[in-house]
Amino acid sequence: MRVVAGTARGRPLSAPPGRDVRPTTDRVREAVFNALGSLGWVDGARVLDLFAGSGAMGIEALSRGACAATLVERDRAALVAIRRNLSATGLGDRTDVVAEDAWRYLRGSPAPFDLAVLDPPYVFDRWAELLDALPAPRAVLESDREPCLPPGWEVVRCKRYGATVVTIARRSSTPPE
């Protein structure tokens, strides 16, 4: 696993041991961020990486021009991997790492973000509740199936990569770029 593009391109990323975290593959990250870049959603963005795992998605966003990222993760081994990855890429100065449960973090009324990356465990089925609580008008949803979006959200793009389905969505009131 490595950073695919941008200022930290080619830098290796590590994943926590075990089966609890499934890092987004380089191929999927490249496709997602190429799509986000074509939409103009990354450059200068404040990014929330919720259920951050290894932090690869937030780190990729920073490498590609996001101005700041907040990585929220509760698993201790994943937090160690995130800190290791930030050190390896030199992107820690623009990153806030939050060691907390995603729901608890959202209940704390976080500052608004421009883009959220959401990669909960595949058994997750609370997409409507999560999107309603999200402090961002745009989101990338990663799952094993296409999620059902709540009213007020619309699909911009949706694509399957093997067992992974990536949905790029925005609030319906968000003007297109």
Under the banding of pLDDT at 50, 70 and 90, the label for residue 18 is low
Q: Please determine, looking at this structure, whether the domain spanning 28-171 carries the CATH number 3.40.50.150.
A: yes
Order the strands of the 153-161 sheet from edge to edge: 95-99, 68-73, 46-50, 115-118, 138-143, 164-171, 153-161
Report the length, in residues, of the chain: 177
Q: Once rounded to an integer, what is the mean pLDDT over residues 134-148?
A: 94
User: For the chain, what are the domain ranges?
Assistant: 28-171
Under the banding of pLDDT at 50, 70 and 90, the label for residue 177 is low
How many percent of the chain have pLDDT more than 90? 70
Checking if the pLDDT of 109 tops 60, the result is yes
- DSSP 8-state assignment for residue 149: P
Checking if the pLDDT of 176 tops 80, the result is no
Under the banding of pLDDT at 50, 70 and 90, the label for residue 23 is low
Q: What angle do CA 87, 119, 165 make, to 5 degrees?
A: 125
